[in-house]
Amino acid sequence: MLEINVIYLFLLLFQIPFTLVLLARLGTAPSRILPLQRLSSDEEDKAKQEPKVSVVIPTLNEVLRLPNCLEGMRDQAVAEIIVVDSRSQDGTGEYVQKLQPDYPAKLRLITDDPLPKGWVGRPWALHTGFLNANPDSEWILGIDADTVPQAGLVASLVQKAIAEGYDIVSLSPKFILKTAGEQWLQPALLVTLIFRFGATGDRNQFTQERVMANGQCFLSRKSTLTALSGYELAKSSFCDDVTLARMAAQKGAKVAFLDGAELIQVRMYTSMAETWREWGRSLDLKDAATRLQTWVDCLFLLAVQGLPLPLLMVLLIATFGMGATINASMLSWTLLGLNGFLVAIRWLLMFGIRSSYTEVGLWFWLSPLADPFAVLRIWISALTQPKQWRGRTYES
């Protein structure tokens, strides 16, 4: 019994401090910046006459994803749309060329140079687009090919940036999940970000070391990118969006990460396996943080997201199960209550993130059961360096 109580005490000493950190982060949600909304018709008309925006879309074998993105960008308030293709083999470049007559003087296709040593493909393509943008443009908007921009996205985003004086602002999207596996795993992975950085629009994310960003929709003043030498500072990062945003914040730029669920949607991956493999590979954010920050975050997630459900089940069985032989001590009751509290918070959070998804089913609501696996994925990612990414192979 003494040995069990020592284990209980160790777990409490491990979990309680991280639980207090979690409550402090989630407690700021009521004061977060409200989700971005589409402007009125008059405001949109005015926005079209405001600073010019160059949109850069990096592509590598995106012919199946790109149509929805380009259609969504067709009537946006932008000066140009630059598709930077990295020698796709699926006809992406030919598809863009075919569409160009429907986008007079607006849609451009650039094939980037072979990937230089030390660069990751995505920041290299974005850097190429930045270097080739219209000299008169005042803003650069990076958009991923798997996004579905909604009407008024660019006008609303630029208007918000100007009104608040942001140098860089990115948006969280509304996710499109179709398979049961995606609906079960993806929200659990998303929650790893919310637990570490708070809700989207949380003003605490504006501090240099906690800055968050999303490269799926990433707007920057061109002058800010110029001062940063484009994407040079994030050239080797597999989370170039967060890396660049944090570098910019360290140099004095005003950076924000806002809720854009009403203005942009995304179909990131098509299966649970792809979600595990591709998204989970960069969610540790180790390329944008110190080694200490990465491992503290891993321990934090283990304490508040990975352990609560398994511990709760074990403690319930040990205390109330048939044939239970352990006499519940004050420590066991405290540990039971703490982990029950954390599991309750996690399930209540499902109602908070519901608006971040287009459609949900039973598996979405059961996604807290995937939490131990989501935390395991973060640990695996933190312990390894990606060797393959979006069709490219990189040296270790």
Confidence (pLDDT) at 328: 66
Confidence (pLDDT) at 307: 98
> Could you tell me if 102 and 176 lie in one domain?
yes
Q: Which of 287, 161, 301, 274 is nearest to 218 (CA)?
A: 161
> Could you tell me if 41 and 159 lie in one domain?
yes
Confidence (pLDDT) at 168: 97
pTM: 0.93
Domain for residue 130, yes or no?
Answer: yes
Domain for residue 220, yes or no?
Answer: yes
What does the alpha-carbon distance between residue 9 and residue 20 come to, in Å, rounded to a whole number? 17
Q: How many CB atoms lie within 10 A of CB 1?
A: 8
Domain for residue 48, yes or no?
Answer: yes
Instruction: Identify the domain containing residue 366 by its residue range.
Output: 2-29+292-390
Number of domains in the chain: 2
CATH number at residue 50: 3.90.550.10
- Enumerate the H helices of 268-370 as residue ranges: 272-274, 291-301, 308-320, 330-353, 362-365
Laid out side by side, the sheet with 147-149 consists of: 147-149, 264-266, 174-175
Tokens of 70: 């380009």
> Could you tell me if 8 and 40 lie in one domain?
no
Q: How many CB atoms lie within 10 A of CB 26?
A: 18
Q: What single DSSP character describes residue 156?
A: H
> Could you tell me if 39 and 11 lie in one domain?
no
Tokens of 92: 């992406």
> Could you tell me if 97 and 133 lie in one domain?
yes
- Angstrom CA distances, 323 to 2, 314, 320, 327, stand at 20, 14, 8, 12
> Could you tell me if 49 and 110 lie in one domain?
yes
Residue-level pLDDT, tens digit, the chain, 396 residues: 678 889 999 999 999 999 999 999 999 888 899 999 998 877 777 766 767 999 999 999 999 999 999 999 998 989 999 999 999 999 999 999 999 998 877 999 999 999 999 999 999 999 999 999 999 999 999 999 999 999 999 999 999 999 999 999 999 999 999 999 999 999 999 999 999 999 898 877 666 678 999 999 999 999 999 999 999 999 999 999 999 999 999 999 999 999 999 999 999 999 999 999 999 888 999 999 999 999 999 999 999 999 999 999 999 988 876 555 556 688 889 999 999 999 999 999 999 999 999 999 999 999 999 999 999 999 999 999 877 766 677 765
Confidence (pLDDT) at 317: 87
Domain for residue 362, yes or no?
Answer: yes
Domain for residue 187, yes or no?
Answer: no
What does the alpha-carbon distance between residue 176 and residue 264 come to, in Å, rounded to a whole number? 11
Three-state DSSP state, 220: strand
> Could you tell me if 151 and 250 lie in one domain?
yes
HSE at residue 177, side-chain half, CA atoms within 13 A, is 27
Tokens of 238: 């597999």
Bridge partners, residue 266, by sequence: 147, 175
Three-state DSSP state, 251: coil
Domain for residue 189, yes or no?
Answer: no
Domain for residue 283, yes or no?
Answer: no
> Could you tell me if 171 and 48 lie in one domain?
yes
What does the alpha-carbon distance between residue 176 and residue 148 come to, in Å, rounded to a whole number? 10
> Could you tell me if 25 and 53 lie in one domain?
no
Asked if residues 157 and 338 have their Cβ atoms less than 8 Å apart, the reply is: no
Domain for residue 355, yes or no?
Answer: yes
> Could you tell me if 25 and 35 lie in one domain?
no
> Could you tell me if 49 and 12 lie in one domain?
no
Confidence (pLDDT) at 190: 97
Report DSSP letters for 72-99, one per residue: HHTTSS-SEEEEEE---SSSHHHHHHHH
Confidence (pLDDT) at 42: 79
Which run of H or of E encompasses 106? none
Instruction: Give the pairing of strands 139-143 and 53-59.
Output: parallel
Task: Enumerate helices (H) and strands (E) in the chain, giving the number of each.
Answer: 15, 12
> Could you tell me if 232 and 111 lie in one domain?
yes
